[in-house]
Amino acid sequence: MDRILFGDNQFYGVNHLSDEKGKQTAIKFGDPKSVLEFLGYGIDEGIRTFVCSTRQQIIPLMEMIRNDEKFRGYNVYPTIPDVHKYNNALGEYGVMGTIKNILPNNLFSFFAKGGVAFATKDILSMLEIVIDLEMKIFDKINTEVVFIQNNITDMILGLRMKDVFITFSNYIRKKYNAEPGFMTMNLPKLVDFLEYAEVKDPIICSSINKSGFRMFGGKELYEKYLFDKPYRYVAMQPLAAGAISPEEAFKYLGQFKNIKSILFGSSTKSHVKRTKELILENSK
């Protein structure tokens, strides 16, 4: 993994400090071409990995990335599944309508596999179907890591369904030749459960910051795991929604050698440039 990963929340109006600023940013990046241009600036700054959800707006962006010479060799790390996309589609179209709406050209091949899963209520087969549906968006794009979205990870963790994590890891590695990643809001509990499930060498992405923002289990326990448990960690929300200065935030993260990557989002070029500089300055 690259040291610096660029996220997508800001492109879709997610702002933990201000809903109004979030709306303004969503308008600014309402056209996929504007997102592509901004990601291209990131490439100019040496940032060549984009972590994104699979919401419907990402589909035209991926088509642009496929066809743009500047993005040759570019990395995209999908975060699956996009829960809101499926919830909205199910409410509007129903189960079959959702499948048609998402993958009209591949309905029958997926249904042939899915029919067995529906009949047997085989949740593990259904998991593979969802993965295939989501990953179709990223055809012919480098997807070296595939993350489970944090709400799903933490739900599975709460239900202690270890077979789901095992199936996800094995399927991602075998079919997509990618590394399995897990986003979570409770890093210590997830690490313990993945060890119990014997999931080998996972990538774990969680909120990690000096203020303890969204670090369920407590900052002190996180720090113990980051020092003592030699996994590949990705720190997201490093600025704690603006509660910490960039200088302080990245100095704090720099002390943990097991934090392999830092995931951040920005909507201004000056902030991207300064963030990159600070991350590299504080990297061991």
Of the candidates 216, 279, 213, 215, which has an alpha carbon nearest to the alpha carbon of residue 251? 279
Domain-located, residue 215 = yes
The 10 Å Cβ neighbour count of residue 186 is: 22
Domain-located, residue 109 = yes
Query: At 232, which CATH number?
Result: 3.20.20
Task: For residue 166, give every residue at least 6 positions away whose Cβ sits within 8 Å of its Cβ, in sequence order, or none.
Answer: 197, 198, 199
Give dist(CA 218, CA 240) in Å, integer: 14
Q: How many domains does the chain have?
A: 1
Question: Which of the two residues, 117 and 132, has the higher pLDDT score?
Answer: 132
Can you give the pLDDT at residue 116?
46
Domain-located, residue 117 = yes
The least confident of 31-35, 91-95, 150-154, 278-282 is: 91-95
Q: For residue range 26-54, what is the model confidence (pLDDT) as tens digits?
A: 667 789 999 999 999 999 999 999 999 99
Query: Average of pLDDT values for 211-235?
Result: 97
Tokens of 169: 């890891």
What residue type is 98 in one-letter code?
A: T
3-state helix, strand, coil in the chain (%, to 5): 55, 15, 30
Query: Average of pLDDT values for 154-165?
Result: 94
Query: Taking 80 as the threshold, does the pLDDT of residue 107 lie above it?
Result: no
Domain-located, residue 10 = no
Q: How many CA atoms within 13 Å lie on the side-chain side of 192?
A: 13
Question: Which of the two residues, 278 and 124, has the higher pLDDT score?
Answer: 278
Kindly give the pairing relationship between strand 75-80 and strand 145-148: parallel
Give dist(CA 56, CA 58) in Å, integer: 5
Task: For residue 115, give every residue at least 6 positions away whose Cβ sits within 8 Å of its Cβ, in sequence order, or none.
Answer: none
Share of the chain above pLDDT 90, in %: 71
Question: Which residue segment(s) compose the domain that 251 sits in?
Answer: 50-265
Asked if 152 and 173 touch (Cβ cutoff 8 Å), the reply is no
Domain-located, residue 142 = yes
Query: Taking 60 as the threshold, does the pLDDT of residue 128 lie above it?
Result: yes
Global confidence as pTM = 0.86
Of the candidates 111, 151, 102, 153, which has an alpha carbon nearest to the alpha carbon of residue 129? 111
Query: Taking 80 as the threshold, does the pLDDT of residue 85 lie above it?
Result: no
Domain-located, residue 231 = yes
Residues in the chain, overall count: 284
Domain-located, residue 198 = yes
Give dist(CA 235, CA 147) in Å, integer: 14
Asked if 208 and 235 touch (Cβ cutoff 8 Å), the reply is yes
Domain-located, residue 98 = yes
Can you give the pLDDT at residue 99?
55
The 10 Å Cβ neighbour count of residue 8 is: 21
The overall average pLDDT reported for the chain is 87
Query: Average of pLDDT values for 216-220?
Result: 95
Query: What is the gyration radius of the CA atoms in the chain, in angstroms?
Result: 19
